[in-house]
Structure 1
Amino acid sequence: MNFSEVFKQTNQLCKVSPDGNYLATCVQYRLVVRDVNTLQILQLYTCLDQVSHMEWSSDSLFILCAMYKRGLVQVWSLEQPDWHCKIDEGSIGLVASRWSPDGRHILNTTEFTLRITVWSLCNKSVSYIKYPKACQKGMDFSTDGRYMALAERRDCKDYISIFVCDDWHLLRHFETETQDLAGVEWSPNGCALAVWDSCLEYKMLLYSLDGRLLSTYSAYEWALGIKSVTWCPTSQFLAIGSYDEKVRILNHITWKKLIELEHPATIANSKAVVYREVENKPVIGAEDLSIHNITMGSSLFNTQSKYEIAQLPVQLPVVRPDPDRANPKIGISAVAFSTDNRYLATKNDSMAQCVWLWDMQKLSLQAVLEHTAPVRCFVWDPRRSRLALCTGNNKLYLWSPAGCVAVKVAVKGDIQVQSLFWHCSGESLILLGKDQMCVCYMATDEKIG
């Protein structure tokens, strides 16, 4: 693998266009658009203030730059660099801004979540949606871009409104059986809407497009409940990460629990492989069988590994939360399915140095990756069963069913990787530091099926 030179960025505002051709970064009040292959600057735009949020339109023709402190949104065109649009929310303020799926409407959420304003770039019309609820994930679009589900709060009760994105007319409006709704998320096939309660009450509700309640699931009572939710790409499974350090998988036929995945501090009597990161530990000799310097024959991994395969039983590092502090570091905070639906990656906050890999065909633990520092971010390759992760140091970590490697980010200077994401082709990774970014090019001869 190869690394590009290091470029500046601010607030980790760096995104690849949906068509995969461009890379946009924000540096203070400047928006820089580069060719994703050559990294040459194609366009340079100057915004009115430091950018808080940046987002590509779905067709890669426009870029939205939101400046929340000023209540401003500026839109830039790649095809017509001289054209631009400015939206000023005025004294009502601005806390969130995003594109609609068609890439021609902008949805702005005002301060105190008083309303959502829908601005049209086509005819300059303005629509208003009242009563949006301020919650973890109160808005979601269906994968096909036809519908928007919005959480609302009226008369101390939770509601869901479903809008048709073509003309923003209300399709369905119904009350939910939640005490304090925390999030909504469409299944990838658009047939079901997952709605879950706040962490104070364990409740997962599944609704159809017409507002019918399909199922209700609750694992336990009188304890902190749901912390993370994700659908698998085929919509067959819904994974629910909880504060009790377990992941529960619901199936799409009966919406009942298929399996409960536990995250024990001690791994014993398991077929799983535990990879333990080793920092600068020299290999004494070939007879030292406790250390496996794994060099992958596969072109996916052509760098010598810096992991050690630990012998079972293995005691994983556990940090118990302070009960007197808010937002306890406990429970499953991250859950992600691989693109082919074969694997599931999870992170338990009380064991923040570890990533757990589960085989969804066998419904069993495949591997555990233990690191010397807490894991900041992990993301699946969009084309292969390959996971990339970072821990806030100058290394990039990769796992596949063939094994795993730790690679030093070989660039001039020192970049501490805080987060990362894949290019849509799966052939490169964008690595983000505190105020820097670089591109990692994956050397592969494999054909993508």
Structure 2
Amino acid sequence: MSDSYDFSQLYHASLVAYSPGTTFLATVFQNRIIIRSTSTLQIVRTWSCSHTASTSIASSSKASEGHVKIDSVEWSEDGLYILAFSASAKTAWVFGLASEGDGQSGEMAKIGGEGIEGMIKVEWGRSGKMILAWADHGLKLSIFDLSTGITRVIQNPKSHHQCHTYSPDNRYMAIVEKHLGKEYIGIYDVLDNYHLARHFQLSTTDVQGISWSPDGKYLAAWDSAVSYSVYVHSPIGPLLSHFSHSSPTFSPTLTTEDPGLGIRTVTWSPGGRWLAMGGWDGKVRILESEGWRCIAVVSCASKITDKDVTVWKEPQDWVKDTRGHGIIQFDRVSIPTAIPTLRPDMSKPNPSVGISEISFDKDGALFVVRSESSPNALYIYSFLKTPTSEAPSISLLATLVLSYPVKDIMWCPGKTGRKLAVTAKSGAIYLWNEEGVWEEEDISNGGNQNQHQSQGAESRGGMMEGVGIPSRSDFVAADLCWAPDGTSLVMQDRSQFCIMYDNESENGNATTDKSEIWGGVIEEGLSHVMEEEEYEDGWSGYGLELRDGLRGGILA
């Protein structure tokens, strides 16, 4: 199994976001934006967001103050500014990490306020100090240039959800627009103040999303649940392919097959040569860009019979038995075995069916699938034998079975190895490591654990482990986020968060006296939840080693 992990104290926060360089962590508590050092979690800066009746993209006046609920927080690409947004106040604030604004809350700029249009989403643009703000009811998309004060408007955007995408070099933005009952894609030049470069009509009836391929050659647009349809366009406009349930390669085994409720999720492979589509029918179809034919159909089986597949199952009640202090290895299940499934109630709206997520690792060698029919399971497939392979070789590598429904998953962005983090609303974080070594108890050796690096299936399925979160409060990890450099992992529930540090990624740090680094404050477990105004250096160390040294950084 892995070496030890270290956990921070619990801190109050409803939102958490790493800075692009991992140095800082932006957290939200009530109406406060709190910037912490990732390595020590000491507070660096704080702001309190307040709301006034009349606001504009300028410094706010000292009017009557009202507290607001923050719904999103986002760093700029250079890590120097923080964008916070409140849907209830219809207001966004821009704060400078190294500079003080003259606004009511210390903001550099304030956008929105009261108005019939409202604002339902804001985000940073991909060039300079640009902010994109979607008005309610699809009325317009406003693009604010904080450097010049100029505002540009794109009329009638289709939706703020999945209906805009950027080219790989961030030079162009593609956005779905709706004019006179018809749907279009507009291509806007980001470096030319978002001026229109191309505009072409779609053949969709109700487009659900668009995605630019990582190689920059293609734009994929998928239709509503009424039909199983994906349209692939060149970024300059021409339609290159239309894949639907009537396509010759839709089903390699059946001449006619029910497409279900259409496409639910779409993901490009990292190289852009293949497009993975997850359907409401519970199947994943892989399209190849050469000829746009379906080269594979993957189904998440309810019974595993292939002896080359490794099935990992979470031990029952281990979190309770260990009181959240320790690391356990999942049990290897003998084949054949059944995977727990959920029978959906088709009489109710939005039934729990279909593929809810497809995620490739950073090299495109593996991908993981979540199926609503098996909420407690994850299916990990091998895709490319090597990142430079010309053709995929798709096979089920491992199936992970948890005690509770999977809540969130994310591949580690680190440069070495392939590691998947999983949460399931329990008092633990789960980690699958492709390079992990399976350990079993050797009775003939006095009960000691010996590492087995056997051939065949046992060496293909990686290793799955659960890491207990040492806490005396009722903390259940729901959402997770890896640091951009892959050295730490944030876990949070509705109101609290903590950070897990992987000692394996920090072997290069200098060793020092840990009690001196942390001021001698080492307690058993996470003894209490830290208030947002506290400057606490304590770390939980019960049953786990403490990390060696502090992480330095220049880029935020």
> Is the 1:4–1:411 contact (alpha carbons within 8 Å) kept by the matching residues of 2?
no
Per-residue CA deviations over 1:122-151 (Å, capped at 9, x if unaligned) read 011111110111364111122311111111
Answer 1 or 2: which has greater strand percent.
1
1:278 equivalent among 312, 315, 324: 315
Indicate the structure (1 or 2) with the bigger Cα radius of gyration.
Answer: 2
SS of residue matched to 1:181: coil
334-343 vs 249-258, greater mean Cα deviation: 249-258
Q: How far apart are the structure 1 equivalents of 2:82 and 2:182?
A: 36
The percentage of aligned residue pairs carrying the same residue is: 30
Map of 2:6 onto structure 1: 2
> How far apart are 1:396 and its partner, in Å?
0.6
Map of 1:431 onto structure 2: 491
Q: How far apart are the structure 2 equivalents of 1:58 and 1:390?
A: 27
Map of 2:150 onto structure 1: 125
Map of 2:81 onto structure 1: 62
Pairing 1:227–2:251 present: no
Partner AA of 1:411 in structure 2: S
> How far apart are 1:309 and its partner, in Å?
0.9
Q: How far apart are the structure 1 equivalents of 2:215 and 2:262?
A: 26
SS of residue matched to 1:320: coil
> How far apart are 1:411 and its partner, in Å?
3.4
> Is the 1:93–1:111 contact (alpha carbons within 8 Å) kept by the matching residues of 2?
yes
> Is the 2:259–2:281 contact (alpha carbons within 8 Å) kept by the matching residues of 1?
no
Partner AA of 1:431 in structure 2: M
SS of residue matched to 1:158: strand
Map of 1:293 onto structure 2: none
Q: How far apart are the structure 1 equivalents of 2:475 and 2:290?
A: 47
> Is the 1:352–1:374 contact (alpha carbons within 8 Å) kept by the matching residues of 2?
yes
2:298 equivalent among 254, 261, 268: 261
131-140 vs 66-75, greater mean Cα deviation: 131-140
Partner AA of 2:343 in structure 1: R
SS of residue matched to 1:39: coil
User: CA 1:165 to 1:71, structure 2 compared with 1: closer, same or farther past 3 Å?
Assistant: same
User: CA 1:157 to 1:222, structure 2 compared with 1: closer, same or farther past 3 Å?
Assistant: farther
Q: How far apart are the structure 1 equivalents of 2:366 and 2:506?
A: 20
Query: Any residues of structure 2 matched to 1:33-432 within 5 Å, and which?
Result: 33-48=35-50, 49-82=68-101, 84-91=108-115, 92-134=117-159, 136-166=161-191, 167-219=193-245, 223-280=260-317, 304-361=327-384, 362-383=393-414, 384-401=417-434, 402=436, 403-432=463-492
> Is the 2:268–2:275 contact (alpha carbons within 8 Å) kept by the matching residues of 1?
yes
> Is the 1:346–1:356 contact (alpha carbons within 8 Å) kept by the matching residues of 2?
yes
Q: How far apart are the structure 2 equivalents of 1:386 and 1:445?
A: 12
2:504 equivalent among 419, 444, 447: 444
> Is the 2:188–2:198 contact (alpha carbons within 8 Å) kept by the matching residues of 1?
yes
> How far apart are 1:229 and its partner, in Å?
1.0
Q: How far apart are the structure 1 equivalents of 2:38 and 2:314?
A: 32
User: CA 1:251 to 1:162, structure 2 compared with 1: closer, same or farther past 3 Å?
Assistant: same
SS of residue matched to 1:351: coil
> Is the 1:279–1:306 contact (alpha carbons within 8 Å) kept by the matching residues of 2?
no
Partner AA of 2:214 in structure 1: P
Q: Over the residues paired in the alignment, what is the CA RMSD in angstroms?
A: 1.8
Q: Which has the higher contact order (CA 8 A, sep 6+)?
A: 2
User: CA 1:415 to 1:304, structure 2 compared with 1: closer, same or farther past 3 Å?
Assistant: closer
Q: How far apart are the structure 1 equivalents of 2:170 and 2:39?
A: 29
Q: How far apart are the structure 2 equivalents of 1:250 and 1:329?
A: 25
> How far apart are 1:304 and its partner, in Å?
4.6
> Is the 1:3–1:411 contact (alpha carbons within 8 Å) kept by the matching residues of 2?
no
Per-residue CA deviations over 1:18-63 (Å, capped at 9, x if unaligned) read 1221100111100001111111111101101221111111111111
> Is the 2:421–2:430 contact (alpha carbons within 8 Å) kept by the matching residues of 1?
yes
> Is the 1:237–1:251 contact (alpha carbons within 8 Å) kept by the matching residues of 2?
yes
Q: How far apart are the structure 2 equivalents of 1:232 and 1:249?
A: 10
Map of 2:24 onto structure 1: 22
SS of residue matched to 1:201: coil
Partner AA of 1:101 in structure 2: R
Q: How far apart are the structure 2 equivalents of 1:218 and 1:176?
A: 15
Q: How far apart are the structure 2 equivalents of 1:141 and 1:442?
A: 33
> How far apart are 1:254 and its partner, in Å?
2.3
Per-residue CA deviations over 1:317-371 (Å, capped at 9, x if unaligned) read 1111111111110110011001121110000001010000001123100000011
> Is the 1:229–1:240 contact (alpha carbons within 8 Å) kept by the matching residues of 2?
yes
Q: How far apart are the structure 1 equivalents of 2:505 and 2:489?
A: 17
> How far apart are 1:445 and its partner, in Å?
5.5
Q: How far apart are the structure 2 equivalents of 1:318 and 1:428?
A: 33
Q: How far apart are the structure 1 equivalents of 2:505 and 2:340?
A: 38
Q: Please give the TM-score of this superposition, normalised by the length of structure 2.
A: 0.74
Partner AA of 1:377 in structure 2: D
Unmatched segments (≥5 aa) in structure 1: 283-302
> How far apart are 1:446 and its partner, in Å?
8.2
> Is the 2:75–2:82 contact (alpha carbons within 8 Å) kept by the matching residues of 1?
yes
Q: How far apart are the structure 2 equivalents of 1:240 and 1:194?
A: 11
SS of residue matched to 2:137: helix
> Is the 1:135–1:181 contact (alpha carbons within 8 Å) kept by the matching residues of 2?
no
SS of residue matched to 1:112: helix
